Structure formats: structure tokens, C-alpha cells
Amino acid sequence: MSIKVAYWPGCVSRGFTPELHGSMAAVAPLLDIELVELDRANCCGAGVIAEHNQELADTLNARTFALAQQVQGAELMMNICSTCQGAQSECQERLDANAEYRAHVNRTLSAEGLTYKKDPGGAGGASFTNKNFLWLLVEEIGLDALRERVKRPLTNLKVGPFYGCYIVRPRERLGIDSEHPRDHYLAQVIEALGGTVISYAGERKCCGFPIITMNKEASLKQAGTHLGDAKDADADCLVTPCPLCHLNLDLQQPLAAKAVGRELQMPVLHLPQLVGLALGLEPKQLGMQRHIVRPTSVIDWSTAVVGAAA
Amino acid sequence: MAETHRVGGSPEKFKLKLRRFDPESGEAPYWDEHTIELEPHRSVLEGILQARARFDGSIGIRCSCRAAICGSCGVRINGEPGLACHTHLDHARDSSPDGTIEVEPMGNMPVIKDLVVDMDAVHWKKIQRVTPWLLAKQPVPEREYLVPRENMVDVTQSMACIQCGACVSDCLAMEVDPGFIGPAALAKAYRFVGDPRDAERHERLNDLSQDPQGIYDCTHCFKCVQACPKDVNPMGQIMRLRRIAGADEHIVDQNNGYRHEHAFVKNIRRNGLLHEADLVPDSSGGKFHPRAIPELISGMPTAIRGLMRGKMTLSKILLHPHKAPKPVKKYFDEIDSKPERYELNLYVTGYDEDDEPTPATVGEGSTT
């Protein structure tokens, strides 16, 4: 069964973490996901535009939603960035809560002939859905189907989930409840791929990225502390659904190590990379050579990790 | 979210695991387990009090009203901050991985004994820091002040704070930077910044912007939003303080907070997508600004590593491959130049009636 999605890759996945966008493109066909890229859409604002002007952030994201709703045959919109998920969910909450406000924002968008519809399927129907790849993986594709597609189980690979903030809080807005334990999905995916889940203190804490330009010391201390906690818990690597977390955890890792005064050398994988690896792709096809802490230099995929290569 | 809780029902057994610590004993903290019996809809606090009455009179817990009003019984339940009197036993059991309800003292504050933390040492000091009283405009009118209703409704959200410290407990910025003024105190600051009777709005905002541990030290992690039992939305109040400081009071702070925000907005207006390479120098005043030079030099090793790994390319750093579509620029210019910001506050407006599954169910005791 294939699924067609209006695909919003975000900015950073095409900027400083190009391996994220690339690995998603490589993994999608293996999961029968058809990606229709929203190439005219704009930055979600990452909370900063909302901090500057809420109406502006709401308008920009309503525009992205409207573009997604124009994609023929797409069941939903999919993103690969937790920060996009959080910032867009916040805007969607306001847009969906108040018809008058929605009409106001749509008047602005009418300049481009765009309209955001709260219930695209007709009045009272299902509301507009925007899911991170992590949620789509568990809820639309399903863990059993994922398990069936694993070609190279991540046997003995000890993976620490790093959720970050935007995709787990606030719970109500992000639709997290006992039926949708989205704040545990990374662990479920790691298990489905045959890996071992490592629990550690920083799983759902802040990577520090949002204050890197304002308070570098505190920011790097956050990244360094979580990486160190994961190391102490004996993780081989971390996996994250957020490219901004990746920037602070990987790109800045040498500085984070200095900030906490210890060696870290902790590889951090993007979610599609971890999935791709288990589905049989090679580290190079997944852009792992682009990481600052190269997963391949720390982990020997060919022997230690890969149980039975197909 | 809203699991329905049976009111009444017959008593059930619940396992409580309490974090114990007595600094005078000289012993390390330890876990203590008790099985209590109560109706499932009763609170974790009632469970703790039963354990104290039946099994161990030395259990330390601070409490008073037992109705989520006094804010005394802030604790961590299964790792999440909240009020013990405001958490149902069955809910707590269901949210625990093994069914045992784990209760710890709050974080970011020193423990006095067991579940009692030193609020004076941290929380109240920070509240004092923001001058938590009205500095009235002069001359004081002979009769009462007349204040627009919207203004007062607006500040009631931060006035709803019961000073329980749940947000302080789990503030992730404070965890690495204990001097951060923090969510509770900054929400309190908004209560006066948003009050039209206050005479010192600019001074308050200038103070909180220039302080390296002020409004720009918040990492945007939503911990406080999740923790608050009263829907105060502390992080949201901090963002409003930033918005007013920057857009209305034009305060350019020494922490690069204002410049970062404006550099980001300018960046998206121009490129449509974020062009990261410009963000760091622009946040320091622009590529050629003297202030940007040390930032750029300290960022060099990172940039070089990125270049060597092919994460960044020179053309990506120097050129702007993306251009914002014209309408996007127009939205920026039109919306940004409106004399008054249109700011929908769901706390004030609520949700449309036709929205059945929306968070009208944030939890009892919340004032939505």
C-alpha cells in the first residue's frame, strides 16, 4: 500500500543538514511513500517569527498548509523537522480554533488565490493533518509493516532516542495521549528496526540550539550534557527527528565537548538514516560521511551492527 | 487526552514509591515503597497522606488546601512536575511504565526534606527579582483607574499563577544556567508589563532584556507550558515580553536577542527559507560589524568542519540559492507595518464551539 504526501522538507534539511533531505528521498521509495515536494512553501518561522509577530507566522504557515491542500491525491502533509512540526502545530491550533481569525488570514492569502481549509474533506470532516515522518511511520505505515521491510536488523546497535522539545510538548497540542504515545515512538521504531533502546536523562530535553546566538555557553552545556549522559548509558549513537537538534548535537559537538570538559564522540543520526540503514541502504547512500562525528568511524556497521546482511 | 475518571468506585490498592532524604541524617537519598488503598479518583496527595498516617509519620510533604489553589504540594510524579493534589491516582498509575507511582521532590531547588524543597532559595528570590508589584503612573487618580477590559482579561492569565514552582522545577535553561530568571518570575513580569496602569514598562523591559539571564535566556523548550497546572503559559508570556521589548520599545539588548530575532525575520523575508550562513553574523549586527568578527572567528572551526564534510558549500554560504516568492515578501511588509498587531490569544477567546475534540479538556482546575 503506498501513501502520497505533500512533503515539507523545511529549511535546515536543505541547508546545513543536506544529508537529512537526501536520506529521506532515498528511504521514501522503500516505504512506498510518494513525496510531492512543496517547493514554493516558506520557512515555518521556527517560533522566532511567532515571537516577532504572531499573525505573520500564522499567515506564512497557513500558506504552506494551503499549498499542501492543493496537492491532488495527497492524504496529508508530512514534515521531517520537529521544529516545523511544533511551530506549525501551534499556528494550526490558532487557525483551527477561530473561524473569524481563519477568515482574516485567508483574506491575506487570497492575494495568491490560496485558502487554508480547516476541514478539507467538507464541513465536519477530518481536519487538516500535518505529520512528522516519525508519526507517519508509526501511525500510517505501522510498526509491523516496518518490521517486515527490515533487511538488515540493527542487531546489537544501542540507540538513544533524542526527541528534542517541539515534537513532545505541549502534549495536548501535539495530540499525545494514551492511544497515541508519540513521545515514545522513537523507541518503538528503534525496536522495530532490531536495535536496542538506550534510556538516558536527556531524551526529551532541549538540545540548546535556540539560544546558541544568545547564550552560547548554556547552549553548548545543554548539548554536551545530553551527549555525555547518553555515553554514560552506553549508547552507540543517538537518533533524532529534528535537524536543529542535529546542528547542536553533531555540528557543534566538538565545542559542546569542550563546554562540558569531556570527550564525547557520539554519532547522531537523522531518523531516515537509521531507518534506511535497516532497510538495507549503505551509510554513504544516507550521507553519513557528512556528519562531523562520522557514525562510520565510531561504529563498524559491517560486523558489530549488521546481523544478517541481506 | 482526557481520560474519564470514575468518581466514587470502590477503593483499590496503589503502590507509591517516594523519594526520601533527610539532610540531618547524613545519609544519601533513597526510595521508600508503600501500598495505600483509596478510590482511584482520589489524589496522589491523599495517597501520600495515607502512607504517612498509616505507615511512617516521618514522611515530609508540604500541603494545605488539597484543591489546587494554594500551590503548596508541587512535586514530580513519574518524572513530570505537577501538584500532588491535582493528579488522580489512577491517572498516575496509568502514566507509569510499571504501574508504581513514583513521587520525587521538584528539581532546580534544594531539598529540605523528602518531598519538601526550598522555595525561598530559588523561586521566591526570582519572583522578587522582577519587582512584582505595580509601579503606578502618577498622578494617581482621585477615584479608581479605568482600564480597558481586554487589558485586564489579558493579564489574568499570568495572574492565575499559584506560585507552586512546577515550571521552575523543570526549566531546562535553569538546569544549565541556575541564574536564569525563569518562567514563573518572567510570567509575573508580564503581569505588570501588560498592565496599562504601570509606569515603568520600558524600564522593566530594558532590565529584563539586558540581563544575560533575562528574557533572551529562555530556550523555548515548552517544559513550563506543559508543567503549569493553571495554564499560565509562562513561555508564551516570555515571548510576548520579547515581542513588546523589540517591536514596541525598540530595545536593542546586549545579548543579541533583538538582533537575532530581526536577523531571522529579515532572512526569511528575503530568502523564503532560512539561510543559516547569514544568521550568525546578522545576529551580531551584520557580516562587517566589529561585533560580528569575534563571533565569526569563533565559528570558523565549525564552518570549516562543515565545509570539509560537504554539509556546507561555499556557494551555499555566500550565495542565496533561494528567493522568497513575491507574495511572501508582501505578507512580511504588510503585516509587519500594521499599527497594531493582531494577536489571537486562545486563553481569552477560547475555541469555536464546533470544535469537539479540541483541548477544552486541559484538565480540571485550569481556567480555559
Among the listed residues B250, B283, B251, the one whose alpha carbon sits nearest the alpha carbon of residue B265: B283
Quick check: A54 and B344 in contact, CB under 8 A?
yes
Computed from CA positions of residues B199, B201, B202, B204, in that sequence, does the dihedral angle turn out positive or negative? positive
State the cell numbers at A126: 477530518
Q: Please, which pLDDT band fits residue B335 given cuts at 50, 70 and 90?
A: very high
pLDDT tens across A175-234, in order?
Answer: 999 899 999 999 999 999 999 999 999 999 999 999 999 999 999 999 999 999 999 999
Reply yes or no on whether the pLDDT at B245 is more than 70: yes
Q: Which of residues 295-314 of B touch A (CB under 8 A)?
A: 301-302, 305-306, 309-312
Boundaries of every domain in chain B: 12-117, 120-248, 257-349
User: Helix crossing, B234-243 with B201-210: angle to 10°?
Assistant: 110
Quick check: A246 and A279 in contact, CB under 8 A?
no
Best A14, A42, A174, A260 residue to mutate vs chain B (most B CBs within 10 Å): A42
Looking at residue B167, its amino acid is C
- The closest CB to that of A15, out of B242, B276, B358, belongs to B276
pLDDT: is B364 or A291 the higher one? Answer: A291
Q: What is the pLDDT, as a whole number, of residue A303?
A: 56
Contacts of A84 in chain B (CB under 8 A): none
Quick check: A30 and A277 in contact, CB under 8 A?
no
| Bridge partners, residue B15, by sequence | B35
B344 in reach of chain A (CB within 8 A): yes
A171 in reach of chain B (CB within 8 A): yes
Quick check: A188 and A243 in contact, CB under 8 A?
no
Q: How far is A309 from chain B (nearest CA, A)?
A: 27
Q: Please, which pLDDT band fits residue A297 given cuts at 50, 70 and 90?
A: confident
Q: How high does pLDDT run on average in chain B?
A: 90
| Binary contact (A51, B239; C-beta < 8 A) | yes
Contacts of A99 in chain B (CB under 8 A): 352
Quick check: B220 and A165 in contact, CB under 8 A?
yes
A163 vs A187: CA distance, rounded Å: 10
- Classify domain B12-117 at the CATH superfamily level: Beta-grasp domain (3.10.20.30)
A102 vs A59: CA distance, rounded Å: 9
- The closest CB to that of A96, out of B247, B256, B355, belongs to B355
Cα distances (angstroms) measured from residue A68 to each of A4, A76, A125, A146, A165: 11, 8, 17, 26, 25
Q: What is the pLDDT, as a whole number, of residue B314?
A: 77
Q: What is the pLDDT, as a whole number, of residue A11?
A: 93
- The closest CB to that of B261, out of A48, A98, A178, belongs to A48
Residue A272: asked if its preceding bond is cis (omega within 30°), the reply is: no
| Binary contact (A46, B274; C-beta < 8 A) | yes
Instruction: Determine the straight-line distance between the first and last CA of chain B, rounded to whole angstroms.
Output: 15
| Binary contact (A51, B325; C-beta < 8 A) | no
Quick check: A207 and A230 in contact, CB under 8 A?
no
pLDDT tens across B19-59, in order?
Answer: 999 999 999 999 999 999 999 999 999 999 999 999 999 99
Least confident of A68-72, A123-127, B103-107, B144-148: A123-127
Instruction: Determine the straight-line distance between the first and last CA of chain A, rounded to whole angstroms.
Output: 23
In DSSP notation, B228-250 reads -TT---HHHHHHHHHHIIIIIT-
A4 in reach of chain B (CB within 8 A): no
A206 in reach of chain B (CB within 8 A): yes
Residue A112, burial from CB neighbour count under 10 angstroms (0-12, 13-18, 19+): middle
Q: Which of residues 110-149 of A touch B (CB under 8 A)?
A: 111-112, 124
Best A206, A220, A284, A289 residue to mutate vs chain B (most B CBs within 10 Å): A206
Looking at residue B330, its amino acid is K
B60 vs B58: CA distance, rounded Å: 6
B33 vs B17: CA distance, rounded Å: 4
Q: Does B120-248 match B12-117 at the fold level?
A: no
B126 vs B165: CA distance, rounded Å: 11
Whole-model pTM: value is: 0.93
B230 in reach of chain A (CB within 8 A): no
A241 vs A170: CA distance, rounded Å: 17
- Written in H, E and C, the secondary structure of B91-136 is HHHHCCCCCCEEEECCCCCCEEECCEECCHHHHHHHHHHCCCCCCE
Chain pair A-B, CB pairs under 8 angstroms: 209
Q: Which residue of A has its CA nearest to B346?
A: A94
Q: Which of residues 90-129 of B touch A (CB under 8 A)?
A: 94
Computed from CA positions of residues A54, A60, A62, A64, in that sequence, does the dihedral angle turn out positive or negative? negative
Q: What is the pLDDT, as a whole number, of residue B121?
A: 97
Q: What is the pLDDT, as a whole number, of residue B366?
A: 36
Q: Which residue of A has its CA nearest to B296?
A: A213
Q: How far is A206 from chain B (nearest CA, A)?
A: 6
Q: Please, which pLDDT band fits residue B365 given cuts at 50, 70 and 90?
A: very low
Q: What is the pLDDT, as a whole number, of residue A301?
A: 66
Computed from CA positions of residues A50, A52, A55, A56, in that sequence, does the dihedral angle turn out positive or negative? negative
Reply yes or no on whether the pLDDT at B362 is more than 50: no
Beta strands at A268-270 and A130-132: parallel, antiparallel or unpaired: unpaired
Q: Please, which pLDDT band fits residue B4 given cuts at 50, 70 and 90?
A: low
Reply yes or no on whether the pLDDT at B114 is more than 50: yes
Architecture of domain B120-248: Orthogonal Bundle (1.10)
pLDDT tens across A43-72, in order?
Answer: 999 999 999 999 999 999 999 999 999 999
B352 in reach of chain A (CB within 8 A): yes
Mean pLDDT of B258-284: 89
pLDDT tens across A241-262, in order?
Answer: 999 999 999 999 999 999 999 9
State the cell numbers at A276: 534506511
Mean pLDDT of B174-187: 98
Contacts of A217 in chain B (CB under 8 A): 177
Mean pLDDT of B223-233: 97
Q: How high does pLDDT run on average in chain A?
A: 94
| Binary contact (A63, B331; C-beta < 8 A) | yes
Contacts of A292 in chain B (CB under 8 A): 305-306, 309, 311
Q: Which residue of B has its CA nearest to A184?
A: B97
